Amino acid sequence: MPVPPQLRQISETIWELPRSFRDGMLVPARFITSEKLLAGLESGVFEQTANVACLPGILKYSFCMPDGHWGYGFPIGGVAAMDSDSGVISPGGIGFDINCGMRLLLTNLTEEEVRPVIKELVDSLFSRIPTGVGCSGFIHCSRSEFRKLLTEGSRWCLKNGFAWPEDLELTEEGGCFEGADPGACSDKAVERGYDQVGTLGSGNHYCEIQVVRPENVFDNKTAAAFGLTIPNQVVISFHSGSRGFGHQVATDYLATFLRVMTGTYGIRTNDRELACAPFRSPDGQAYFAAMKCAVNMGFANRQMILHRIREVFSRVFNRSPQDLGMGMVYDVAHNTAKLETHEIDGEKREVLVHRKGATRCYGPAMAGIPARYQETGQPVIIGGSMETGSFLLAGESSAASTFFTTAHGSGRTMSRHQAKKMVKGQKLLGEMEQRGIHVRTSTYGGLAEEAGFAYKDMDEVASATEMAGLSRRVAKLLPMGNIKG
């Protein structure tokens, strides 16, 4: 795609649209990327990133990460920090699947041990973890119990026997955003979500068995600190979020903000998808409290999926999950807004960081990450397509310039509709089997949507984050088996 003529290169990995690009821009728009990735950016991404730069209270820059592509409101990969007093909160800067995120699980098994039973493992995971649009979970809690889960997140799972204490330690924010208020959520949102705890969902959500080969370890010391200590070690990563509940929360508050934004608060945006309200206003605070409920639903959902994975591996190998070394590496959230303290122009300030399809990446010695990772920095999990694998990275101190934010995945290069026109799901399934990747899916169409060619070059995205000083590569995780909605 042709880039805007006003775009100027600031460094090897930073390009910038100045405030003069569009009337109303309060800050420049910055694109953290490589030349190769920049060449593939859709024109709409430049427009969206510039529109974000016009939002009241935005500080320093509107950012787009290396995996950036067109989204709703913000680009996916969009990042913006708002002044907590004068700024706004926007559902379009958080997303519909609030707290979709990645979780990485260790084993002490090797590829040689797992390969003979990969089909059994994948088939068992597919039968035990509900997948697909509208699927229901194996936990049938009441609506009132679900509201408790919305306030407690992973703590609810621990109290009910579905988590190890260390799982919470190794989850961002301990698996719970404080201040969640189910009273700020509609009955329709609760109705859509109360029976979906422990479900994978559809789209780009997946659960994948992966191998870490010695030639794909980039930082042996950090890899060992993260638990990767065995040649050809098998790990499991998975991606899911708050399902229909989070989608309804976003839908509800977008409608509210569209009603009150101009008339009540006198705010106008270049794009109605950026509907917003002042963060400190009653409407802004209500959405923030509801968003936290969806965040907590996402954490609990992934915790329940983890519980099922441990059950499956334990049954297949006839050993306990503890004996199989099935501890977590980390759980990182995407699609959130968080109050954080960052240094801006030499002054520490409380800001509201919107991360839309982007991952927090705290560096070494920062508060808010587990004690065991104080020397290495926070683990960062960047999910790729089911054909290319994923990356495990570590947060860097030099990421302060992006409010300690990095990429969250490989990023799409085409729509799902376009991908389905280019390949048949059944053919793709056969090709992956020939390459030693056993896949189970709810629909062939859903499989075709997630073909590897529909995504950016995963190695290029991970390399760009490292070159930009946001997160450094630790290991690449290659697929052996996958379940998808």
pTM of the model: 0.96
| Residue 386, pLDDT above cutoff 80 | no
- CA 314, CA 223: separation in Å to the nearest integer? 25
Q: What is the pLDDT of residue 424?
A: 85
Mean pLDDT over 141-155 rounds to: 96
Q: What is the pLDDT of residue 1?
A: 52
What would the two tokens of residue 97 be?
Answer: 């699947």
Q: What is the widest separation between alpha-carbon atoms in the chain?
A: 64
Residues in the annotated binding site: 97, 204-208, 239, 334-335, 383-386, 390, 408-411, 484
| Residue 134, pLDDT above cutoff 80 | no
Mean pLDDT over 178-205 rounds to: 94
- Of 444 and 214, the structure prediction assigns the larger pLDDT to 214
**Could you report the per-residue pLDDT of 19-40, keeping only the tens digit for each?**
999 999 999 999 999 999 999 9
Q: What is the pLDDT of residue 124?
A: 97
Mean pLDDT over 360-383 rounds to: 97
- CA 269, CA 272: separation in Å to the nearest integer? 7
| Residue 83, pLDDT above cutoff 90 | yes
Q: What is the pLDDT of residue 417?
A: 77
| Residue 193, pLDDT above cutoff 60 | yes
- CA 269, CA 63: separation in Å to the nearest integer? 18
> What's the count of helices (H) and strands (E) in the chain, helices before strands?
15, 19
- The domain segmentation of the chain, as residue ranges, is 8-95+340-358
Residues in the annotated binding site for GMP: 204-208, 334-335, 383-386, 390, 408-411, 484
Host H or E run for residue 20:
none
**Could you report the per-residue pLDDT of 313-330, keeping only the tens digit for each?**
999 999 999 999 999 999
Residues in the annotated binding site for Mn(2+): 97, 205, 239, 334
Burial profile 370-398: b = 16 or more Cβ within 10 angstroms, e = fewer: eeebeebbbbbbbbbbbbbbbbbbbbbee
**Could you report the per-residue pLDDT of 404-425, keeping only the tens digit for each?**
999 998 877 777 778 888 888 8
Mean pLDDT over 230-247 rounds to: 97
**Could you report the per-residue pLDDT of 156-170, keeping only the tens digit for each?**
999 999 999 999 999
How much is the mean pLDDT over the chain?
95
CB 312 within 8 A of CB 318: no
What would the two tokens of residue 154 be?
Answer: 């992973």
Reported in sequence order, the residue ranges of 243-366 that DSSP labels E, i.e. its strands, are 277-278, 328-333, 336-344, 347-356, 358-360
Instruction: Give catalytic residues, as residue numbers.
Output: 408
